[in-house]
């Protein structure tokens, strides 16, 4: 149950397993500059300050250079968190465009955290 | 008459299986050939062997094929391209499956163009003998044909001159910095015949693809296409809306690799003697998206 923390505000978003960073943020009521949403244009790059992610599709060399595959660059429309992530947007901030979706995401996160805490006290180490 | 139409658009896709699903099941193209990492398609109302080629590996444009009326047009275009200072190579029959001899060159905008005269005739899906209006069992949007493309170039004015000199194209509409005769050309819409545009060129990076478009009949078909994009989770960039420029009705959307596609209907008839329409920057939003009247960020920055 990965979370994505958005710097510099420290906003924490809850993602479903397998969900991309972009779709998670959108689903939580946030917006930022995106284009194709399919890994082709490179507009949605953010910096990953901590945590691990993988790409759920092949990404073209014209979109991510060799250097960008090694540094903090995260192509948000194709990146699926492997652990909790902290990201920072480039040259802009996320805009909260729907407080309603934001509240729903917040509740989902609280439920997931409560569930995780409950399973932990029950002695299981199972983690999604 | 030289160039008759954009015969094929050959593009790269990151995942061939997903791309095939999009172009065959959402767009409704017919697969005519596959070899190695390439798949060839035609639309139902096209008669030549293919109009779209998908190649796995990367994104963006590989090349465009332009079909000319007579084989002598190939020599004519070769001479004109050389006179413009472009290096032209010969391509032989079979280098592209089911396409004849021709020439290949890289334009001043760094896009690869091929010019050919022969393509294997497959025939439309309705045939020529007492043909019906459309095939009964179209799939998805069921586009009838490839229509046009928009590419970017550092100097659209140079491409305007190049296409005029080499392809005998003429501009139907332009975006210019002003109405003055020495204004800079920001974008140009060009054609060789009555089709409102076959190729448009917008200021931007060299060698990039903005979109390639499929033809539709009218507003209703454009709206239905947008419905299907929602059903198939195709990201819509903008639309359904109208372009002020060309007056076409449109949806911009993305294929599964992020290449922008368009469905385009309408557009008025172009004539060589019709005075060209000129748009100036303060009305560019309306020129591109006639209803929103605002350029979205993606229009100039999202390219493959
Ligand atoms: S939005 Fe185009 S690559 Fe992510
Ligand atoms: Fe177009």
The confidence band for B196, taking pLDDT boundaries of 50, 70 and 90, is very high
Q: What is the pLDDT of residues A57-86, one digit of tens each?
A: 999 999 999 999 999 999 999 999 999 999
The residue in chain A having the minimum alpha-carbon distance to the alpha carbon of residue B301 is A43
- Going by their DSSP bridges, the two strands B38-42 and B88-91 should be labelled as unpaired
Contacts of B15 in chain A (CB under 8 A): 57-58
Distance CA B213, CA B211 (A): 6
Torsion of CA B219, B278, B287, B164, to 10 degrees: 70
Q: A19 CA to chain B: closest CA distance, Å?
A: 15
What's the mean pLDDT in A80-101?
Answer: 90
What is the pLDDT at residue A128?
A: 47
B97 band by pLDDT with thresholds 50, 70 and 90: very high
What pTM does this model have?
0.93
Percent of all residues in chain B with a pLDDT value above 90, rounded to a whole number = 96
Domain residue spans of chain A: 3-122
Any idea which residue has 């910096």 for tokens? A47
| 8 Å CB contact of A60 and B303 | no
Residue A126 scores a pLDDT above 70: no
Looking at the CA of B195, which ligand is closest? 2
- B10, B49, B111, B148: which one is catalytic? B148
- Chain-wide mean pLDDT for chain B? 97
CA separation for the pair A68, A49 (Å, rounded): 14
**Other C-beta atoms lying within 10 Å of the C-beta of residue B184:** 13
- Nearest residue of B to residue A43, measured between CA atoms: B302
User: Which residues in chain B are classed under CATH 3.10.180.10?
Assistant: 3-116, 145-301
A104 shares contact with chain B (CB less than 8 Å): no
pLDDT of residue A127: 47
- pLDDT mean over B209-236: 98
Q: Can you tell me whether residue A3 is helix, strand or coil?
A: strand
Active site residue B8: no
pLDDT at residue A124 above 60?
Answer: no
Q: B89: Cβ–Cβ under 8 A, 6 or more apart, which residues?
A: B103, B104, B105
CATH class of segment(s) A3-122: alpha beta
- Six-digit token string for B59: 């994104």
Q: What is the mean pLDDT of residues B40-46?
A: 98
Assigned CATH for B3-116: 3.10.180.10
Q: Does the pLDDT of residue B296 top 90, yes or no?
A: no
From chain B, the residues in CB contact with A41 under 8 A are 258, 298, 301-304
Ligand 1 within 6 A of A25 CB? Answer: no
Strands (E), B19-59: 30-35, 38-42, 52-56
What letter does residue A74 receive in the DSSP assignment? E
Q: Which of residues 239-298 of B touch A (CB under 8 A)?
A: 254-260, 297-298
| Among the listed residues B231, B272, B274, B232, the one whose alpha carbon sits nearest the alpha carbon of residue B255 | B232
Q: Are B228 and B279 in contact (CB under 8 A)?
A: no
Closest listed residue to residue B71, CA positions, set B101, B33, B99 = B101
Stretch B182-207: mean pLDDT: 97
Output the DSSP codes for B209-260: EEEEEEEESSHHHHHHHHHHHHHTTPPEEEEEEE-TTTTEEEEEEE-TTS-E
Closest residue by Cα to residue A27 from A80, A103, A114, A78: A103
Q: How far apart are CA B269 and CA B197, in angstroms?
A: 10
Out of B254, B297, B304, the one facing A37 most closely (by C-beta) is B254
Among B1, B146, B123, B145, smallest CA distance to B68 is for B1
CA gap A17, B145 in Å, rounded: 40
- Residues of chain A with Cβ-Cβ distance to B59 below 8 Å are 39-40, 60, 62-63
The β-bridge partners of B151 are B201, B209
Structure tokens at A1: 């149950």
The secondary structure element, H or E, covering residue B285 is: helix B284-288
- Parallel, antiparallel, or unpaired: how do β-strands B112-116 and B102-106 relate? antiparallel
ipTM of the complex: 0.86
pLDDT in tens, A20-64: 999 999 989 998 989 999 999 999 999 999 999 999 899 999 999
* Whether B113 contacts B198, CB under 8 Å: no
CA A25 to chain CA mean position, Å:
6
B279 close to B245: Cβ distance less than 8 angstroms? yes
For domain B145-301, the CATH superfamily is 2,3-Dihydroxybiphenyl 1,2-Dioxygenase, domain 1 (3.10.180.10)
Cβ–ligand 1 distance for A41 under 6 Å, the answer yes
Q: Is B14 on the interface with A (CB under 8 A)?
A: yes
Task: Please indicate whether residue B262 is annotated as part of the active site.
Answer: yes
- B116, B197, B210, B221: which one is catalytic? B197
Distance of alpha carbon B209 from its chain centroid, rounded?
10
User: What does the block give as tokens for A20?
Assistant: 């991309």
Output the CA torsion sign for B10, B16, B19, B23.
positive
Task: With beta carbons under 8 A apart, name residues in chain B contacting A35.
Answer: 237, 254, 258, 298, 301-302
CB contact set of B263 (below 8 Å; sequence gap of 6+)? B141, B143, B213, B214, B215, B216, B221, B222, B225, B250, B251, B253
Distance from CA of B259 to the nearest CA of A (A): 6
Tell which A residues from 42 to 101 touch B, by Cβ distance under 8 Å: 43, 57-63
């Amino acid at each position: 149950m990965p979370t994505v923390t958005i710097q510099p505000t420290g906003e924490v978003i809850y993602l479903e397993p397998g969900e991309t960073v972009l779709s998670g943020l959108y689903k939580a009521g946030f917006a930022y500059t995106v284009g194709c949403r399919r890994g082709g244009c490179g507009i949605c790059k953010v910096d990953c300050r901590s945590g691990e992610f993988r790409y759920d599709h092949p990404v073209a060399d014209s979109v991510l250079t060799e250097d960008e595959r090694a540094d903090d660059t995260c192509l948000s429309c194709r990146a699926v968190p492997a652990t909790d992530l902290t990201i920072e947007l480039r040259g802009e901030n996320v805009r909260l465009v729907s407080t309603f979706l934001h509240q729903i995401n917040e509740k989902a996160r609280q439920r997931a955290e409560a569930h995780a805490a409950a399973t932990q006290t029950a002695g299981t180490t199972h983690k999604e | 008459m030289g160039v008759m139409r954009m015969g094929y658009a050959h593009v790269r896709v990151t995942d061939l299986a997903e791309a095939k699903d999009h172009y065959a099941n959402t767009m409704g193209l017919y697969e005519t050939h596959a070899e190695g990492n390439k798949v060839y398609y035609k639309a139902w109302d096209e008669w030549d062997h293919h109009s779209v080629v998908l190649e796995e590996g990367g994104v963006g444009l590989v090349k465009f094929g332009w079909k000319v009326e007579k084989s002598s047009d190939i020599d004519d275009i070769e001479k004109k391209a050389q006179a413009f200072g472009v290096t032209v190579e010969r391509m032989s029959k079979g280098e592209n499956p089911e396409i004849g001899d021709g020439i290949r060159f890289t334009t001043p905008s760094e896009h690869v163009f091929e010019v050919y005269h022969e393509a294997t005739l497959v025939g439309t899906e309705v045939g020529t003998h007492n043909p019906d209006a459309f095939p009964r069992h179209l799939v998805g949007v069921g586009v009838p044909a490839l229509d046009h493309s928009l590419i970017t170039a550092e100097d659209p004015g140079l491409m305007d001159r190049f296409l005029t000199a080499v392809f005998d194209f003429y501009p139907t509409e332009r975006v210019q910095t002003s109405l003055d005769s020495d204004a800079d050309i920001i974008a140009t819409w060009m054609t060789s015949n009555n089709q409102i545009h076959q190729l448009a060129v917008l200021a931007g990076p060299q060698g990039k693809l903005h979109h390639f478009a499929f033809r539709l009949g009218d507003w209703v078909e454009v709206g239905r296409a947008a419905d299907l994009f929602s059903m198939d989770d195709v990201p819509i960039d903008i639309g359904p809306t109208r372009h002020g420029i060309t007056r076409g009705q449109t949806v911009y959307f993305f294929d599964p690799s992020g290449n922008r596609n368009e469905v385009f209907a309408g557009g008025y008839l172009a004539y060589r003697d019709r005075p060209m329409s000129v748009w100036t920057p303060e009305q560019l939003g309306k020129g591109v998206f006639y209803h929103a009247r605002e350029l979205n960020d993606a229009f100039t920055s999202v390219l493959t």
